Amino acid sequence: MTRISIAIHGGAGTILKSSFTNEQEAAYRKALQKALHAGYTALEKKKTAVEAVELALIELENSPLFNAGKGSVFTNKGTHEMDASIMEGKDLNAGTITLVHNIKNPISLAKLVMEKSEHVMLGAEGAMEFAKRMECVFEEDNYFYDEYRHQQWLEAKESNVVQLDHTIIKNNKIGTTGAVALDVFGNLAAGTSTGGVTNKKFGRIGDSPIIGSGTYANNHTCAISCTGTGEFFIRGVVAYDVSCLMEYKGLSLFNACNEVINNRLVKIGGDGGLIGVDTNGNIALSFNTEGMYRAYKQSDKSEVIAIYNE
């Protein structure tokens, strides 16, 4: 039987142990473990990598601790604009959505775009119309309200800056969410979901809903989900770059991820990280920041949950 593997992330950035209480750290570890187990249990039951990725991300989207779904940050207008993408490695099928609001689980809408439409990316009101036709679960604005997020927005709005979560030296609610998986059928999948950046304007879109930049999966190489300063991940086509180094240069998953995150991305001024899994079930967790919320589990029953650069 093919070795099953899954990895998840909840964002990378200035995450310092000194900034956490024991209770706060425990809450993050519990949330990561819940999402990890949701995805891994699906793989154990011989569900597809796509299904496992969706289930893991739903758990992260349902937690107010992470910047996706319920925990999404506020825009300049005091609203929420969410992005998500998912891709399967067998046929390179993908679905992405951007600039949606009131959708409880954006990753599920992205999966519906992949499976139920002839398109790859839907945005704004068109994506909302599609969500209604697909009978997605909607929530009222107050479902997405979080006091920490609101204060974060007020501070950013007062100083008229666009605030990237992972640049703030605070101990909670940092970053994009993502998941990658290898199933018993030997197929790979990757997914990413985010609320974007605090106080964003003009319909700003980062790398999370862009195939090749924030998300990529190819059965010949790997599945990748990224987190960090989206503009740099777009310019570096980061997720696809890892796959290219593996396919055309013969690099291992670990070496390809390390080259992209700690060399190529740094050279253009980018910070952040990524998670990856290859066709053999090997896992990579690469980041050039002080920490990244991350976890993984493989079919040899090993399980790792980590936060800091350790």
Instruction: Provide the annotated active-site residues.
Output: 176
**Residue among 217, 193, 10 at smallest CA distance from 106:** 193
d(CA 81, CA 204): 9
Tokens standing for residue 284: 């990579």
SS (H, E, C) the chain: CCCCEEEEEEEEECCCHHHCCHHHHHHHHHHHHHHHHHHHHHHHCCCCHHHHHHHHHHHHHCCCCCCCHHHCCCCCCCCCCEEEEEEECCCCCEEEEEEECCECCHHHHHHHHHHHCCCCEEEHHHHHHHHHHCCCCECCHHHHCCHHHHHHHHHHHHHCCCECHHHCCCCCCCCCEEEEEECCCCCEEEEEEECCCECCCCCCCCCCCCECCCEEECCCCEEEEEEECHHHHHHCCHHHHHHHHHHHHCCCHHHHHHHHHHHHHHHCCCCEEEEEEECCCCEEEEECCCEEEEEEEECCCCEEEEEECC
What strands, in cross-sheet order, belong to the sheet with 177-182?
121-123, 94-100, 82-88, 188-194, 177-182, 5-13, 291-298, 303-308
Read off the tokens for 29.
Answer: 């570890």
Structure tokens that stand for 180 in this block: 């990658």
